[in-house]
């Protein structure tokens, strides 16, 4: 995207999350949500981690490269987010929500 002399984008990029959702849906057929964080329970240091689930809530097995690419793309759209806390990207409505907040709402 072209930038103005001030360094800001020449036009607003409000559709970026929707485009990302469409790209991820094409890349991972059947995916409904992608949970992303920097805390992989199998690692002792911050490590990019993604869990993909289908509409029924079942975890989908992905190759490591595909999972990492999906997680990186999501991180790039929301660089300001605290990724030490897990967040879930919903492909249906292109929204990002902190995963621990979603779990708390379900428990009510």
Residue 40 pLDDT:
63
104, 46 Cβ separation under 8 angstroms: no
Residue 14 pLDDT:
72
Burial class (CB in 10 A: 0-12, 13-18, 19+), 107: exposed
Residue 84 pLDDT:
82
Using CA atoms, how far apart are residues 76 and 19, in angstroms rounded to an integer?
Answer: 13
Residue 39 CB partners (closer than 8 Å, separation 6+): 46, 47, 49, 84, 86
- Please state the domain extents for the chain: 14-101
CA nearest neighbour of 70 among 84, 87, 56: 87
pTM above 0.85, yes or no: no
pLDDT averages per 10-residue partition of the chain, 108 residues: 47 79 96 88 72 96 92 94 91 92 50
Residue 12 pLDDT:
46
């Amino acid at each position: 995207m072209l930038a103005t002399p001030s360094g800001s984008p020449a036009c607003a990029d409000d559709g970026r999350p929707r485009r990302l959702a469409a790209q991820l849906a094409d890349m991972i057929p059947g995916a409904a949500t992608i949970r992303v964080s920097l805390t992989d329970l199998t690692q002792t240091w911050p490590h990019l981690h993604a869990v993909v689930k289908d509409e029924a809530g079942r975890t989908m097995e992905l190759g490591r490269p595909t999972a990492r690419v999906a997680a990186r793309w999501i991180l790039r759209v929301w660089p300001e987010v605290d990724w030490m806390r897990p967040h879930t990207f919903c492909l249906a409505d292109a929204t990002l929500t902190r995963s621990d907040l979603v779990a708390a709402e379900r428990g009510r």
